[in-house]
Structure 1
Amino acid sequence: MLLLLLLTNAFVLLPWAGAGRIIGGREAEAHSRPYMAYLEVKNKTNSTVCGGFLIRPDAVLSAAHCVDMKGTVKVTVILGAHNVRKQEQSQQKIPVVKKVIHPEYSRKDLKNDIVLLKLKEKANITKNVQCISIAENHECVRAGDLCTVSGWGWTSKKKVLSDVLMEVDLEVQNEEMCEELSSKYQRQSMICVGEEDSKTLAAPGDSGGPLVCNEKAHGIVSHGCGGRLSPDVFTRISHFEPWIRKKLKGFSRKSISCSPSSD
């Protein structure tokens, strides 16, 4: 159900594809998650889709592996969508003019899997397009916390993508579970989410989408753990919050409000 990374006919299957898939969720109420972003990512030969989320009118947060392609990579963000196969009046389609991948991102093991995308123009904040707050440096989720992930990824293991936004509730797990399954798991910068071998999980096409706990984005859909469908590994936003704030200042030194415009 969620979108980790959509790969169709001409797409290249990358090593991390298949992680973070959401199977067994439900259709989200239309426009109930106005911060969600649908990412179309292309280079000269390949195309993928991912999820993301609006954290400022000019900035979207996603997973670095979503834009990790050779050559010139073009990213387009669609905001305000429920059904991505329709031209809904609520949709805003905005090109990305700058991609800031974390300097210590690792393609091999997906450490520091985070990217900040600068939009060509500020999004028009409406009831269907809004920002979401991100976890601050001192905030963290704990084992047992119930969070929600949403996206347009696979709705089944048959690799069928969803036209409409889907969502699923997932439980934060003890760190030990992911540590036992993968030696690459890092507590400081990752979150272990979803029961082992669960039938509800995040899926290809959902990569880059947010893990929302108590109305804040605490994680980013990254990859599966130890080659399994679940649990999933999410990038821990609180660990990267200082880096995010620093880079946002580079986008614009002026304070940019997420309130609806007055015009």
Structure 2
Amino acid sequence: MLLLLLLTSAFALLPWAGAGRIIGGREAERHSRPYMAYLKIQHGSGTTPCGGFLIRPDTVLSAAHCAHKKGKVKITVILGAHNINDREQSQQRVLAKDWVIHPNYSPVDYRNDIMLVKLKTKAKLNEYVQPISIPSHKESVGTGAACEVAGWGWISLKKDKTDVLREVALEVQNETICQDVFKDYQQQSMICVGDDFNNKSTSRGDSGGPLVCNQKAHGIVSYGRKYCLFPKVFTRISFFEPWIRKQLKRFALQEVPGSPSSD
């Protein structure tokens, strides 16, 4: 019975909530990814860091589970950072005015794990801060596509940390790999990603960071198995593109129903 409990724990789903930590990657060239955002999410007496990315001057895209907390939540977005613990002149710190978690997000199996964050003031676009494009509803990435993920955090399963932005190259995997591992894997709305040979992976917690393929953000770091580097599941952005566009129009009209920050 004890062995069964240990095995169950080892293979449990774990959303990588926190600032992006990259395993088996390298330090990114300073400000080579100007779309990257670091989210400080305050809830109760604690603070949870998460990743995100700028898709237009007033909007950041991230994972729903980052802000799906009990009680009052406050989000601070840091743009233009390389060393997240330095007060670099390139950094812009902006409070979130509103955010919208997908109405069908499930904290049980991480379906629809996507969130839009509206900034209180627009980001000042420059060489350090730039939005990244997202795919249209009809665009997709197939098995074997070469992609990259970046983030700030754990660089090993031993919880070794770094303060600078790191990046790793990962490949889109055949859907059957994730279907065999995760019973609730949804092909339409998720992407199976990883590297089964070189100990390269996202880790706790790259949540909310972008999977960049062909210079577009195609995925959002969502979840994986605890203590396992391969495979990982990303939210498929193209599937949610119509929903994203609808929310952006509401943001423009200042009509953001159900935003936790307005409670």
Q: Is the CA contact (8 Å cut-off) linking 1:182 and 1:226 kept in structure 2?
A: no
The whole-number CA distance in structure 2 between the counterparts of 1:131 and 1:173 is 27
Q: By how many angstroms is 1:51 displaced?
A: 0.4
Q: 1:114 to 1:139 in 2, by over 3 A?
A: same
The whole-number CA distance in structure 2 between the counterparts of 1:121 and 1:115 is 18
Match in the other structure for 1:119: 119
Deviations 1:194-251 (A, max 9, x none): 1347510001131100000000000000001597331110000000000000000011
Q: 1:147 to 1:15 in 2, by over 3 A?
A: closer
Q: By how many angstroms is 1:62 displaced?
A: 0.2
Match in the other structure for 1:93: 93
SS class of match (2:22) = coil
Q: By how many angstroms is 1:18 displaced?
A: 4.6
Match in the other structure for 1:16: 14
Q: Does 1:62 align with 2:62?
A: yes
Deviations 1:179-202 (A, max 9, x none): 011111000000000134751000
Match in the other structure for 1:3: none
Within 5 Å, give how 1:180-195 maps onto structure 2.
180-195=180-195
Q: 1:103 to 1:227 in 2, by over 3 A?
A: farther
Deviates more, 1:212-221 or 1:155-164: 155-164
SS class of match (2:242) = helix
Give the TM-score, by structure 1 length. 0.87
SS class of match (1:250) = helix
Deviations 1:28-60 (A, max 9, x none): 000000000000011122211010000010000
1:103 aligned partner, one-letter code: P
The whole-number CA distance in structure 1 between the counterparts of 2:239 and 2:166 is 27
Q: 1:172 to 1:225 in 2, by over 3 A?
A: farther
Q: Is the CA contact (8 Å cut-off) linking 2:36 and 2:80 kept in structure 1?
A: yes
Within 5 Å, give how 1:1-263 maps onto structure 2.
16-18=14-16, 22-196=22-196, 199-224=199-224, 228-253=228-253
RMSD: 1.9
Give the TM-score, by structure 2 length. 0.87
The whole-number CA distance in structure 2 between the counterparts of 1:26 and 1:122 is 31
Q: By how many angstroms is 1:153 displaced?
A: 2.0
Q: Is the CA contact (8 Å cut-off) linking 1:79 and 1:91 kept in structure 2?
A: yes
SS class of match (2:144) = coil
Say how many residue pairs are matched: 241
The whole-number CA distance in structure 2 between the counterparts of 1:68 and 1:174 is 30
Q: Percent identity?
A: 60
The whole-number CA distance in structure 2 between the counterparts of 1:197 and 1:106 is 31
Moved beyond 2 Å, runs of 4+: 14-22, 195-198, 225-229
Q: Is the CA contact (8 Å cut-off) linking 1:38 and 1:51 kept in structure 2?
A: yes
Unpaired runs of at least 5, structure 1: 1-13, 255-263
1:151 aligned partner, one-letter code: G
Q: Is the CA contact (8 Å cut-off) linking 1:137 and 1:238 kept in structure 2?
A: yes
Bigger helix share: 2
Deviates more, 1:124-133 or 1:194-203: 194-203
Q: Is the CA contact (8 Å cut-off) linking 2:221 and 2:235 kept in structure 1?
A: yes
The whole-number CA distance in structure 1 between the counterparts of 2:36 and 2:53 is 5
Q: By how many angstroms is 1:15 displaced?
A: 6.4
Q: Is the CA contact (8 Å cut-off) linking 1:102 and 1:113 kept in structure 2?
A: yes
